Structures are given as C-alpha cells and as structure tokens.
Amino acid sequence: MVRAMVQRPVRLRVRFHFDDDEDDSPVEEVLPVKPKKPSGRAAKAKKDKPKEVKETPKEWTVEEEIVLCQGWKNVEMPNFYQSQGRKKSKTSETTSGSASGGLNLNEKEDEAVEETQKFQPMADKFYNMKQKKWGKKDNEQQSYIELKNRELSIREAEAREIAQLKRKKLEIQRRTLELAERKKWDRDILFYNSATDTTLPPIKQEKMLEMKMEIKTRYNLDY
C-alpha cells in the first residue's frame, strides 16, 4: 500500500512596519493540501474487472425460416390508384406455431394509406390549379389569335378598297385620254380635209402642207 505524502504547514514570520505600533507576533500561512493519489490496490482491482461479453446473433435454422415464412402469406397489396378508400392487407396471421409473435403490420400500412390520402387532395388541388392556369392561358391565346385575325381582315379589306380605287382612277384616266385622243383626231382630220387658202402667204401655205402630211403619216391615211 502506497501512503499519500502530505506536506506539513510551514510557519512563516512576517513583520509589518507601522509608524505607531510594532507587532512582532508571527503569522501562520496554511498551504492547501494536495489530493491523495489512488492506491495501487484500487487500480489493480479496476484492471481485474471482467469485460462484458457481447452475445452473438442467433442463426436461424431452415425449419425456423419455414415456420416464419408460413406466418406471412396471403398478402394483398393496397391499391392506392384505383380506390381512395382504406384497404387493409392480410399481412400477419397470429398462430400458435407462427414465429411472428402476433406482430401486426397493418398499423404501418394504415399510416401509409393515411399519408397517401392526405397527399391525394393536395395533388388534386395542384392539378386543378394547373388546369385552371392552362385553361386561362389557352383562353388568352385564343383571344389574342382572334384579335390578330380581325386586324388582318381589316387590313385586307383596306388593301382591297385601295386597289379598287386605284383601278377606278386608272379607268377614268384611260377614258379621259381616249376622249382627248378622239378630239385631237377629229381636229386633225378636220384640218387635213380643209382646203388650202390661196390668199395666204406662200410660207404659211407651205407650213399647212407640211402639217397635213404629218397628219396623213400619223393616222396612215390613204387619201
């Protein structure tokens, strides 16, 4: 056994100097006691403490696995997409020879069904919102297309009206030109058929003859 070593307090003589009185009495100062070190016996006893042995997992035999599989049969999976009602499956059969120990897995399945039923209204709501949004977009696009078609129809009508006015204007110009040409032809023929005035000076008479020859050539007259 190892004994703890304890340090004895040391007495110190401290002298304080004052102006009035002097006190030569010694002052004791006590040092703190160090904690004891653990004994070797306690440490040895702690080392000699046996360790806990972990149990190895149990290995299933073929017979036990067959019994366990017989306890789980006739499983019917829930149909979440065809019916919205809760549908329990036969997941456990509590028998005396079953290795399931009366464990009921319907609770977990019920929770899954409840979660699915909670999610279904949210999905329907989201789908309806999408349908409304898409329907609104379709209506807006249809209205935009109809507006553009009306604008195009108005522009086409204006273009047809402008083209018709141009045709009428050209027809009027053509008729006016024909009328002017007819009047000019009448004057030229009248001048061509008129007799030459012999009382006029020779220069003017010669000029009139030149004009008549031009009229004859222009209209291809044979007389």
- Identify whether 134 is part of a domain: no
Q: Are 39 and 1 in contact (CB under 8 A)?
A: yes
Residue 119 has pLDDT above 50, yes or no: yes
- Give the tens place of pLDDT for each residue, 8-51: 554 555 455 544 445 555 555 556 656 666 565 655 555 555 56
What's this model's pTM, rounded to 2 decimal places? 0.32
54 inside domain: no
Q: Has residue 202 been placed in a domain?
A: yes
Answer yes or no: is pLDDT of 180 > 70. yes
Give the residue numbers spanning the domain of 195: 185-219
**Is 118 part of any domain?**
no
**Both tokens of residue 217?**
């050539």
Counting the structural domains of the chain, the total is 1
200 is a domain residue: yes
- Say if 166 falls within a structural domain: no
SS3 string, 127-177, reads HHHHHHHHHHHHHHHHHHHHHHHHHHHHHHHHHHHHHHHHHHHHHHHHHHH
66-99 per-position pLDDT tens digit: 777 666 555 555 555 445 444 444 444 444 444 4
For residue 213, being part of any structural domain is answered with yes
112 within domain boundaries: no
Q: Which residues contact 34 (CB under 8 A, 6 or more apart)?
A: 6, 7
